[in-house]
């Protein structure tokens, strides 16, 4: 009788210990999952963190400030939060201005620069930005109201190309190729030339290969 009772007691104790370990394992799993969730949230937050002066947006981040300098037909400087931010307009490429003796400019470069200045110089703007490029410039769209952007205005006026360098890997606005075709047909701006050279081809052929 005592041996049977001892067996039953041992089985009961084993079952109790098993339940305790099961509860501990469940608790450990919950804690681990909670920690993983917190880490994932932190990782996501860090990945989404915008550059200084920016706020998250559908494009990536926004920059708000005043345009203080226009360098050429697709590049300008924005004063945002007390800091100067260099901006490269998304999806377009404008004629290159002269950099130095080894890097001469293209036809219509000054006209393109003047056209962009007329659109944004001295104005307060809020940019929709995607990333920083290898030159530490913010790559952004410049909304002008009514669905227009500075990039669309430049292309529609024949003051810039829809940027199809690298088979369009820099193209983010699908409306631009059609606007370029319309400007080409109307022979506006750069399209007044018989055979205009795209800026990405100019940088390679003229600046790198010295075949201007």
Identify whether residues 38 and 108 lie together within a single domain. no
How many separate domains does the chain show?
2
Q: Say yes or no: 159 and 102 in one domain.
A: yes
172 and 97 both lie in a single domain: yes
Range of the domain at 182: 54-208
Mean pLDDT of 8-14: 49
pLDDT band with cut points at 50, 70 and 90 for residue 2: very low
Q: Could you read off the pLDDT of 106-135 as tens digits, one per residue?
A: 899 999 999 999 999 999 999 999 999 999
Q: Is 120 left (phi over 0), alpha (psi -120 to 50) or beta?
A: alpha
> What pairs with residue 141 in β-bridges?
128
Q: Specify whether 101 is located in the same domain as 121.
A: yes
Beta strands in 31-170 (DSSP E): 54-56, 61-72, 75-80, 83-89, 92-93, 124-132, 138-141, 143-145, 148-149, 161-162
Residue 101's pLDDT band (cuts 50, 70, 90): confident
The pLDDT of residue 128 is: 97
The CATH number of residue 120's host domain is: 2.40.50.90
Distance from the Cα of residue 113 to its chain's centroid: 22
Same domain, 41 and 113: no
For residues 91 and 176, membership in a common domain is answered with yes
Residue 4 confidence (pLDDT):
41
User: Alpha-carbon distance 98 to 113, whole Å?
Assistant: 12
**In this structure, are 37 and 111 located in the same domain?**
no
Of the ranges 34-43, 56-65, 142-151, 166-175, which one carries the lowest mean pLDDT score?
Answer: 34-43
Is there a single domain that holds both residue 75 and residue 45?
no
Same domain, yes or no, for 162 and 181? yes
Least confident of 6-10, 85-89, 140-144: 6-10
Task: Supply the residues annotated as catalytic.
Answer: 88, 96, 137
- Which pLDDT does position 32 carry in this prediction? 39
d(CA 59, CA 148): 16
CA dihedral 96, 99, 105, 110 (to 10 degrees): 70
- Residue bearing the bigger pLDDT, 11 or 123: 123
Least confident of 32-36, 97-101, 166-170, 202-206: 32-36
| Secondary structure of residue 77 in the 3-state scheme | strand
Q: Please indicate, yes or no, whether residues 44 and 58 belong to a single structural domain of this protein.
A: no
Provide the 10 A C-beta neighbour count for residue 33.
10
pLDDT at 11 (0 to 100): 56
pLDDT at 8 over 50: no
Q: Which two tokens stand for residue 199?
A: 């800026």
Q: What are phi and psi of 125, to 5 degrees?
A: -135, 160
- pTM score, whole prediction: 0.71
What's phi and psi for 55, nearest 5 deg? -125, 150
Tell me the per-residue pLDDT of 198-210, one tens digit each, with 9 for 90 and over: 998 989 899 988 8
Structure confidence by residue, pLDDT tens digits, 20-78: 434 434 433 333 333 333 333 333 332 333 443 444 445 699 999 999 999 999 999 99
pLDDT higher than 60, residue 197: yes
Domain boundary among 49, 64, 88: 49
| pLDDT at residue 204, as a whole number | 87
Q: The tokens 């300098």 sit on which residue? A: 69
């Amino acid at each position: 009788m005592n041996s049977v009772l001892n067996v039953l007691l041992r089985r009961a104790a084993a079952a109790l210990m098993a339940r305790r370990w099961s509860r501990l394992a469940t608790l450990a799993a919950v804690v681990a999952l909670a920690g993983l969730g917190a880490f994932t949230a932190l990782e996501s937050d860090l990945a989404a963190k915008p550059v200084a002066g920016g706020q998250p947006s559908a494009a990536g981040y926004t920059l708000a400030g005043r345009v203080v300098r226009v360098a050429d037909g697709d590049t300008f400087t924005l004063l945002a939060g007390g800091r100067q931010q260099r901006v490269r307009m998304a999806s377009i490429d404008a004629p290159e201005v002269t950099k130095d003796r080894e890097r001469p400019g293209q036809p219509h470069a000054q006209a393109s620069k003047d056209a962009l200045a007329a659109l944004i110089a001295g104005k307060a703007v809020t940019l929709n930005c995607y990333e920083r490029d290898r030159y530490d410039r913010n790559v952004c769209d410049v909304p002008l109201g009514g669905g227009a952007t500075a990039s669309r205005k430049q292309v529609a006026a024949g003051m810039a190309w829809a940027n199809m360098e690298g088979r369009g890997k820099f193209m983010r606005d699908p409306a631009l190729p059609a606007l370029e075709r319309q400007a080409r047909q109307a022979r506006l701006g750069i399209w007044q030339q018989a055979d205009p050279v795209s800026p990405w081809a100019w940088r390679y052929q003229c600046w790198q290969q010295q075949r201007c």
